[in-house]
Structure 1
């Protein structure tokens, strides 16, 4: 039975009362600190009822009785529960509870990390900073690939994304200052909510493939400007791609230094060809080589860079 109250809070009440609204709270640190979460002796009432079984001003009452930290967690929980509700009503209904719980936990951790003040006067640096360069737009003079400086590896990534099926395929290639591939790969990265998430998966898979072979200085090139900005060291990530971006930043910690360039699609054509290769012919990973079907594009890039 659903109690319909006056005002616009009924949908939030319904969302939080469904199983997909309750479970993320139980799997995160939020439920442990909710007011009234301790069960009364002889009563079956628990933390869920404490949140939902109040008067018409239930949300305001709950928020007023919480400290600032718990209040923020409740609002984040409602926000994610509403996302799950939208996925059930308007999407495919396949969004998992564990993924949402993981998202909330890691999102909270990211926010806390952003609030930690750094003490530059004492020589302290933010965790993970290693000669980091700012994200920038690469000079578009000449619509072709440019080799990195000697001692660097340049990683180009792209995706082949189908918005109807939401299936995505990653393509990535890392090349040295002579244009010789260190590693090339193509991989089915499953379903993604949008192109940005698919592009982020491509960068993550490229970094994982490269880190097994090379840990020096790297330059990452992507044609997704939004993602490039999200990867900036100064960025506070609040996008739905947070878990993947968090993975990317962890992968970047394996390298001496890194830089992200936002480039045109024309200059990223070879990475897109690798993504299409995975889409049409299946996953692959090659060390020091590229698939024969896309060698012509690789040689075209390499020859133009020589001039």
Structure 2
């Protein structure tokens, strides 16, 4: 190791101080052993720091991760979002379904029941979207949300008794499918569902859009361009 002499000098200095101030003597064999251990530990730490910096550089070099991505062949991806108004104590949901080619298969908006917070609205949106996908005949579905807590609760990575019943009902519906995956995505990749949840008209309980709504066309086009 190139830096071994440095650590040897460091250990000599420490052993000198221990001898003067604590009257403790370290034999030369022990001194060499400590020197090697110090050098090895420093090299391992330096490697970990370099690995962290490398990952950060790679994450900045992958802007495509910020955009919506297509799913696998034979699957559909359903992006969901729940909106919550604490002043009116109202919640709404929006979701959009696209296939492996990135083609639009439909979107929907719905009013939810009275919820206690934004997280409950997100879980409710996921449940509504899952039920709707089942009614449309899809059996291999990826449910994607930008709410990390909601996804973690469903995937049992986070325990929260206040939302236990939501998780149970979602898992009950998920068991009816051939396969379902619940995954998190960035908010920048979930713009369509976010707009659907917030754009719902007053007095509308549920609305399914077989054709693309005009206000979604730009966002859907942008997702499609970056999804390949």
Mark yes or no: TM-score above 0.5: yes
Mapped to 2, the partners of 1:215 and 1:167 lie a distance apart of 29
1:245 aligns with 2:167: yes
Cα contact 2:64–2:226 (8 A) shared by 1: no
SS of equivalent to 1:204: helix
- Paired residues in the alignment total 166
Deviation, 1:158, is 0.4
TM alignment of 1:44-123, pairs within 5 A:
none
* More contact order relative to length (CA 8 Å, sep ≥ 6): 2
Q: Match for 2:98 among 167, 175, 182?
A: 175
Mapped to 1, the partners of 2:149 and 2:223 lie a distance apart of 25
Mapped to 2, the partners of 1:300 and 1:200 lie a distance apart of 27
Q: Which has the higher helix share?
A: 2
* RMSD value, Cα: 2.1
Q: Match for 1:264 among 179, 186, 190?
A: 186
Partner of 1:286: 209
Partner of 1:255: 177
Deviation, 1:201, is 0.6
SS of equivalent to 1:179: coil
Q: Any gaps of 5 or more consecutive residues in structure 1?
A: 1-138
Deviation, 1:181, is 2.5
Structure 1 residue runs of 4+, over 4 Å off?
234-237
Partner of 1:296: 218
Which whole-Å deviations, capped at 9, do the CAs of 1:161-216 have from their partners, x for residues lacking one?
11222211100112101122333100111321111100001001101111112333
Q: Any gaps of 5 or more consecutive residues in structure 2?
A: 1-61
Deviation, 1:286, is 2.5
TM-score by length of 2: 0.66
Partner of 2:80: 157
Deviation, 1:238, is 3.7
SS of equivalent to 1:208: helix
Cα contact 2:143–2:182 (8 A) shared by 1: yes
Question: Relative to 1, partners in 2 of residues 1:253 and 1:187: Cα closer, same or farther, differing over 3 Å?
Answer: same
